[in-house]
Structure 1
Amino acid sequence: MDMETDALRWFQQVADGVTVTEVADIYRVSQPGVSRALARLETEVGTPLLHREGRLLRPTHAGRVIKRHVDALLHALDDGLAAVSELVDPETGTVTVAFQLSLGTWLVPGLIGRFRQSHPQVTFRLEHSDDALGSSLLAGGRIDLEFTSRRPRNPAVQWHHLLDQPLLLAVPPAHALTGHASVSLAEVAAEEFVMLRPSWELRTLSDELCAAAGFTPRVAFEGDDLPVVEGFVAAGLGVAIVPASDPGGASTGRGDLIPLSDPGAFREVGVAWSRERRLLPSAELFRQYVISR
């Protein structure tokens, strides 16, 4: 077989829903040229990989099977090409970073901002992740580093502890506890709670803290992310356990966020990366910087 890299890339994009005309425009080649390359690829494989549905070409069963391998092959090739480029100048690479929304307001911007003061030409591609149990973008190779409060269960993922983030009690405006220096969960055992859904790590930790305080929380509402939870609390629909929005957590700056005095009222925050995929030089440079800080 003598497969062309361009043909593989064009097959990958067409199988993902891009039209042959759009592929031709993107790569500045003729539409018949793209069609001939795809036909040669099918001849080399020995079976049809695409079939027409209206204006689009859709992958056949064989096309779907081979596409997974084409994706992996091109990903590895692109990594290799990028690695060679960065070996010449590791200060010009791109680092792909994922992080939970609650860490994107203070931790990640601060680290990237300080890093870029010394490495201004390194660029970053950002993705949002959540801490729902079992979710990770690392194993598939889509990202270089993930900032997360979840210890990965995947043995292929390495995790390094960065800090302990205090947990606070969010209360509605003008709540009886507003302005208190601290509060224990036992003091709000009779309140209704707004919580994340059970699949989230923070929900598991919240349930454990309430159990240690001697009660099972009455959950009035469940949400899919922290801003939703905080919005329901602000509307007076319950109290919630939320992470501090700064590393120290000693001063919230808001009377409706009260530090919890319960033992273990914090969540671990760390950075994770793949054990099986070597980080490119710019990503490794940033990883070392993060750990040193």
Structure 2
Amino acid sequence: MSPRPAIVTGLHAEPALATITLTWEPLAWEPLIDHYRVYAVRGSSASGAPREKDLLAKTVYPRLVHDGLDAAGEEWTYTVLAVSDAGARGKPSQPLTATSQPSVTATGREVATIGSFDGRTLEFRFAPDSYSSIPDEYPDAVIEYAQGADGPGSAWPYLLPGPGDGWAGNHGYRARWTVTLDEAPAEDHDLAIWLVDTTRLGGTLAVSVGGQHVRDIELPTGATRGSREGDATVPGSTLLRSFHEFAIPADALQAGENVVDLHLVEGGWVAWDAVGLFARE
């Protein structure tokens, strides 16, 4: 009779925005492990043996990303067990509770946004697949957008091309978003940049506010499908969303016009989900 796999140990969670990444210690080769079964229950308690209705996923790797979580943050309790190549199941790990990082889109007060934070590009100009129109409409590789005067469907293309995009002339495009504030803020704000997809080139998106460099966003390697598909929420979608949120210092903002400059200095295009400026509550 095939021996049962050992108990999975070292279960660890890394919470992030809309995701929780689980890792654990890989088991030895004897018996040969066919896969791991990851169970998830909402909340902070998981009593008794794992129930099959709570099976989140199977994986051959000692790692799993639980994604698609609510932007406000979600609490889950996880257990993991191993299954041998003969079908023998090990005992479940000790349960682990983790909460995903809440987004500023849920915790902050909206000051200005372009688009909806919904996993789709469809509200933007040229979406979902007319990317070839972008270099014709923006030959100087600069997109200008004034909050309150312009709209996403007419003035914000769904893709921002990068130096790696031959179809756009290998230019690092920049999007200049003008936001007018009634008064200079006394406290830091937060900028949310959500992307529906990126290319396999990855890249760097440089962010400046009022001429002050704030952050270089290292873009993840994406699926390179967001130029033709506009909805990452469709079941089975291969689009690889990413979420980037960080502070904008109060001294970078002023009463009157403020220009948020998003410059794709390396890599391939990004497909926008939404961008937003939020005050802290």
TM-score range, shorter chain: under 0.3
| TM-score, normalising length: structure 2 | 0.24
Larger radius of gyration: 1
Q: Higher helix proportion, which one?
A: 1
Hey, which of these two has a bigger chunk of strand by percent?
2
Q: TM-score, normalised by structure 1?
A: 0.24
